[in-house]
Amino acid sequence: MNHSLKALNTFGIDQYASEIVCAENEQQLLDAWQAANALSQPVLILGEGSNVLFLDAFHGTVIVNRIRGIEVTEQPEAWLVHAGAGENWHHVVQYTLQHGMPGLENLALIPGCVGSSPIQNIGAYGVELQRVCDYVDCVELATGKLVRVSAAECRFGYRDSIFKHEYQDRFAIVAVGLRLPKQWQPVLTYGDLVRLDPATVTPQQVFDSVCLMRTTKLPDPKVNGNAGSFFKNPVVAAEMAEALLSRFPGAPHYPQADGSVKLAAGWLIDQCQLKGQTIGGAAVHRQQALVLINVDNATSEDVVKLAHHVRQKVGEKFNVWLEPEVRFIGQMGEVNAVEIIA
C-alpha cells in the first residue's frame, strides 16, 4: 500500500493503492486489468481524479487512463470529433473552438478527462454531454473486444448513464465521439450568459463568459483541493417545487421536459448559511456553496462529515435531500455515496 493517490485526485486526499499503472493505449489498459483480475484484485480506472473521493486505501490496482488523440471528420452538416479517453476535456473544448467547430463552449473548464464525460453525462450552463455525444468506444475487459456504444444506448440521464450501472465494471471507455452541427445554436439560459445577445453572440464570447464565471466562482484545485460541484442539483416533483416556491419565491428553479423541476443545490445550501462552514480540514467554499474544499490537509472522514452536515441542514429546512455528484471510492471500489453521508 505504498503507492500514493494524492496527486491523482483533485481533492488532494492522501490515500494509497496497492498498485498504480499508467495506460497509454488499449492494450496496456487491458493487460493491467487482466493482470489484476488474475490475482482477484479490484481495479479502478481513473482519468484525472476530478470527481472522486477516496474514502480509504484502495486494495487493488488503479489504472490511469492516458489514451490520447483527437481526430476530426467533416460531414456536410457537422464535424465529427473522435477524442481519446485520456485527453483533458477542456483541451478538447479549446481545440474544437480554435479549429472553428463550436458546440462545446458551455462545457469549458469542466475538470477531468474525456473518458469521464459520458459516465457522468457532464453538464454546465444549460448543456449536457448527451447534446453532442455521437458514440462512446469501449473495450470489454473480460474479452478485449472493442464495442461502439451509440448515444441512445448510453441511457443518459442527469449526471447518469449506463456506465454507472450495467457497464460499470465490464467496460473501459477508450474514446468518445462528438457530433458538432455546423448550424450553431447558442445556449444562453444560465448565469451571466442570459445577458448575451443571441442574434450577435459568437462561440468565443460564450466560451469566455463561461470561463470567467467558473474561474471567479469556483476554487482552483491546485490551491484548495476540490472535486467541483459536490452535490447534484436536486430534481423534484412539480407539486413539491410549488410548495417550496410558495415559501421561497426567489428560489432558482428550472422546469424539466417531464414536468419535474430542477432546483439549485448551491442556493439551498447558501440559504442554510453554510458558506465557510468547516469540519476538520474540509470547508464549504465561501463563493460557491456547492463546492466542498480541502483547506487544511482534510481527511476523507472530514469531507464525509461535512457533506453529511450540509445534507442534514438542507433536508431539515427544505425537505430536499441532496445527493453527491462526486463518486465515493472504498477499499474495493465504488460505494453508494448517499448511504455514506446519510
pTM, two decimal places: 0.91
Write down the pLDDT at residue 199. Answer: 95
Domain of residue 33, CATH code: 3.30.43.10
Write down the pLDDT at residue 1. Answer: 63
- 113 and 155 belong to one structural domain: yes
Range of 313's domain?
Answer: 221-341
69's grid cell: 488523440
- 148 and 101 belong to one structural domain: yes
**Which among 216, 248, 276 is the end of a domain?**
216
- 262 and 165 belong to one structural domain: no
Sheet holding 261-263, edge to edge: 235-236, 261-263, 253-255
pLDDT single digits (tens) 204-228: 999 999 999 999 888 888 889 999 8
Judge whether 140 counts as a catalytic residue. Answer: no
Distance set, CA 67 to CA 37, 87, 172, 318, 342 (Å): 21, 7, 11, 44, 37
- 209 and 77 belong to one structural domain: yes
162's grid cell: 449506463
Write down the pLDDT at residue 220. Answer: 86
- 193 and 237 belong to one structural domain: no
The answer to whether 89 touches 113, Cβ cutoff 8 Å, is: yes
Domain of residue 248, CATH code: 3.90.78.10
Judge whether 159 counts as a catalytic residue. Answer: yes
- Which of 26, 48, 105, 159 is labelled catalytic? 159
pLDDT single digits (tens) 70-119: 999 999 999 999 999 999 999 999 999 999 999 999 999 999 999 999 99
The answer to whether 186 touches 153, Cβ cutoff 8 Å, is: no
Q: Dihedral of CA 263/307/122/99: which sign?
A: positive
- 252 and 295 belong to one structural domain: yes
Secondary structure of residue 25 in the 3-state scheme: coil
The answer to whether 173 touches 118, Cβ cutoff 8 Å, is: yes
Below-50 pLDDT ranges, the chain: none
- 325 and 228 belong to one structural domain: yes
- 121 and 146 belong to one structural domain: yes
- Which of 128, 229, 300, 311 is labelled catalytic? 229
- 49 and 108 belong to one structural domain: no
Contacting residues for 220 by C-beta, under 8 A, at least 6 apart? none
The answer to whether 196 touches 151, Cβ cutoff 8 Å, is: no
- 255 and 125 belong to one structural domain: no
Domain of residue 74, CATH code: 3.30.465.10
Write down the pLDDT at residue 115. Answer: 97
Judge whether 323 counts as a catalytic residue. Answer: no
Of 266, 267, 286, whose CA–CA distance to 276 is shortest?
Answer: 286
**Which among 21, 46, 65 is the end of a domain?**
65
Number of domains in the chain: 3
- 101 and 133 belong to one structural domain: yes
**Which among 181, 216, 251 is the end of a domain?**
216
- 35 and 143 belong to one structural domain: no
